[in-house]
Amino acid sequence: MISLLIRDLKLAFRAGGGFGLGLAFFLIVTVLVPFGVGPNSVLLSKIAPGILWLGALLACLLSLDRILALDWEDGSLDLLATSPLPLEGVVTIKSLAHWLTTGLPLTLAAPLFGLLLSLPEGGYLWLVLSLMVGTPALSVIGTFGAALTVGIKRGGLLLSLLVLPLYVPTLIFGAELARRGAEGLATTTPLLMLAGITFGVIALLPFASALVLRVNLR
């Protein structure tokens, strides 16, 4: 399991792995927003949590088809499926590797981008916390979408369409948590809901992902 994780991480970090892609996309979104809505810092600080969450989500979406497609093409997915490691474990490791290469860097970079969007003082902690809790759910749900569409050539559009409605609850609670944190309101409910979604999908969705992956591999 550990060696699979290390292999995936190496593949992502080395050339052509697309590690920087998500971060670059996140940067582009946050830099372009002020040009789009104007430099008014009152307005910017009001929409900053939502924009940052949206940017993180889209950056995540961008790299989803890399989770399984490359392994599917060169046949290593078949090898993994016949290995002693259960497919549920493989899928979980894939999600973890995706999170470590996109979700975690995005979370760590978010305060910097928050500065660009003049996020209120108290909002940084909650922004990082909400992304830290919420982005694993994005990776796990995304892996499910990637497993569904792995057999389809040029399935990128379909993958986005399938994952889009599945991301809605996470986005709502994540952005709400960041917004309430920034405005100094009570944060317990969205935090608990967000954590509930994340732990729920980590516990259950790998089984569904492994199921559809088996169907695609037969």
Partner 1 sequence: MGSIWEYANPVKFSRTAGVVLPWVSVFATVALIVGLVWGFFFTPDDYRQGSTVKIIYLHVPAALMAINVWFMMLVTSLVWLVRRHHVSALAAKGAAPVGIVMTLIALVTGAIWGQPMWGTWWAWDPRLTSFLILFLFYLGYMALWEAIDNPDTAADLTAVLCIVGSVFAVLSRYAVNFWNQGLHQGASLSLDKEENVADVFSTPLYVCIAGFVLLFIALVFLRTRTEIHKRRAKALLARERLG
Query: Does 158 contact partner 1 by CB under 8 A?
Result: yes
Cα separation, 183 vs 119, whole angstroms: 10
User: Quick one: which of 31, 32, 164, 203 contacts partner 1 (CB under 8 A)?
Assistant: 164
Nearer to partner 1, 6 or 204 (CB): 204
Tell which positions 181-210 bind partner 1, by CB under 8 A.
189-190, 193, 197, 205, 208
Query: Is residue 81 involved in binding partner 1 (CB under 8 A)?
Result: no
Choose between 193 and 195: whose C-beta lies nearer to partner 1: 193
CB atoms near residue 40 (< 10 Å): 11
Residues near partner 1 (CB under 8 A), total? 28
CB closer to partner 1, 79 vs 215: 215
Positions that interact with partner 1 (CB under 8 A): 144, 148-149, 151-152, 155, 158, 161-162, 164-166, 168-169, 172-173, 176, 189-190, 193, 197, 205, 208, 211-212, 215-216, 218
